[in-house]
Structure 1
Amino acid sequence: MESLAPLLSRRSYSRKKLIHPAPNDQELQSLFELVMTTPDHGNLKPWRFLVVKGEKMQVLADATLEMYRRQLPGGVLTEKARRSCQEIANTPMMIIAVTDLKPEHDVSLWDQWLCGGAAVQNIMTGLHLMGYGGFWYTFLAGDELKPVLGMQPEDQVLGAISVGTPKERFVRPLERKSPHDYCFEWQGLGKKPTPYFGK
């Protein structure tokens, strides 16, 4: 369908493939308004988003490097850790999605986690539609780094999204897997589902 065409070209870009500019404040406002449309059982908004940009990218990179140093045996940094932190410093912007769970609420923590992940996906989709690129990766904030990010001890990072403009030479369609192997039609109780699209 033509209405879905803009989304079919969505892809992720590693940090090394992202350059300036990143979204401005007005664009970020629109992006987070999109996030507010995320399906949210209980309307809890179980997330918080930290926007890191400018000179604070180097501060974040340094703090991350120190976290790695404390986690690695003997405090000896690997080349991979150094390279990763340098990439963070060079990234135009990062949006760090953090949980803000409500364990006392009737909505299960599982639902709240899924909702937070859906919110991050909306950020990725919105960035693409705005002409920017993003890279969603796991960022396990240790106890040393949580206070630096303004997180509570019980908070966890849903994802760290590197944000910027994709380098032009990397903007090209990707070969996708067919959905045929992943979609099935339910045939009733005790019956084996059959491929929805046939073979």
Structure 2
Amino acid sequence: MPPRNDAALEFLLSRRSRPAKTLVAPAPNRDELMPLLTAASRTPDHGKLEPWRFIVVEKPAMARLASITTKAGERLGKSPEDIVKGRSQFELGQLAVVVVEVQQSSPKIPAIEQTYSAGAVCLALLNAALAAGWGANWLSGWVSHDATFCAEAFDLQPHERIAGLIHIATESTPPPERPRPDLAALTTWVDK
């Protein structure tokens, strides 16, 4: 039997994202954030392409992003409610790490595998933040899928897109438990 890491397994069995709207100051400083980014960068990455990068959005930049969100929502014809919801992650945000998927040209590694790697980075960062005692939440939403917003807000290039915005700060209230998947309905066993 391989050696067990019961603490890590217990963490994974009980982990729970914290709603971004419940995260308050303080957020991790740059020194506290680096180990979390390091943990996230240890994600599976077929071919060592590193098909992702990080943009750290600190509190002073949040108001600018909320303003760009309003302009994007108006340009896209979003409802006032959608604009308010899109703005809120920036208006309330303390710190967010934008995980940017960077598609690399590769004859061996399909684009979908690069997308999976970027998604794995998001989950690894989320779990690292939670394991370090921070509250964290993985968001996206309509703004993160709008190329014009992404170019203006983060200077993303045509071969880049947002895989997730990982908000990290201090948990203000414990999150409620939510229903979990029915594993019996989702699992097929193949034994021959």
TM-score by length of 1: 0.83
Larger radius of gyration: 1
Name the SS for the 1:148 alignment partner. helix
In structure 1, which of residues 38, 43, 47 is the aligned counterpart of residue 48 of structure 2? 43
Task: Name 1:20's counterpart in structure 2.
Answer: 25
TM-superposed CA distance for 1:14, in Å, is 2.1
- Cα distance change, pair 141–160 in 1 and its aligned pair in 2 (3 A): farther
Task: Name 2:158's counterpart in structure 1.
Answer: 153
Distance 1:163 1:18 in 2: 7
Task: Name 1:141's counterpart in structure 2.
Answer: 146
The aligned amino acid for 2:70 is: L
2:63 is equivalent to residue 58 of structure 1: yes
Name the SS for the 2:74 alignment partner. helix
- Gapped regions of structure 2 (runs ≥ 5): none
Name the SS for the 1:110 alignment partner. helix
Name the SS for the 2:56 alignment partner. strand
- Cα distance change, pair 53–178 in 1 and its aligned pair in 2 (3 A): same
Q: Answer 1 or 2: which has greater helix percent.
A: 2
Identical counterparts, % of pairs: 26
Task: Name 1:182's counterpart in structure 2.
Answer: 186
2:122 is equivalent to residue 114 of structure 1: no
Contact 1:64–1:145 (8 Å) recurs in 2: no
For residues 91-113 of structure 1, give each alpha carbon's deviation from its aligned partner in whole angstroms, at most 9, with x where no partner exists: 11111111111123421111111
The aligned amino acid for 1:36 is: S
Name the SS for the 1:63 alignment partner. helix
Name the SS for the 1:157 alignment partner. strand
- CA root-mean-square deviation: 2.1
In structure 2, which of residues 5, 10, 16 is the aligned counterpart of residue 5 of structure 1? 10
TM-superposed CA distance for 1:41, in Å, is 0.5
When structure 1 is superposed on structure 2, of 49-58 and 85-94 the one drifting more is: 85-94
TM-superposed CA distance for 1:11, in Å, is 1.3
Contact 1:67–1:145 (8 Å) recurs in 2: no
- Gapped regions of structure 1 (runs ≥ 5): 189-199
Distance 1:22 1:123 in 2: 14
Name the SS for the 1:151 alignment partner. coil
TM-score by length of 2: 0.85
Task: Name 1:197's counterpart in structure 2.
Answer: none
Contact 2:52–2:101 (8 Å) recurs in 1: yes
Task: Name 1:32's counterpart in structure 2.
Answer: 37
In structure 2, which of residues 62, 69, 72 is the aligned counterpart of residue 67 of structure 1? 72
Matched residue pairs, number? 184
- Cα distance change, pair 78–186 in 1 and its aligned pair in 2 (3 A): same
The aligned amino acid for 1:176 is: R
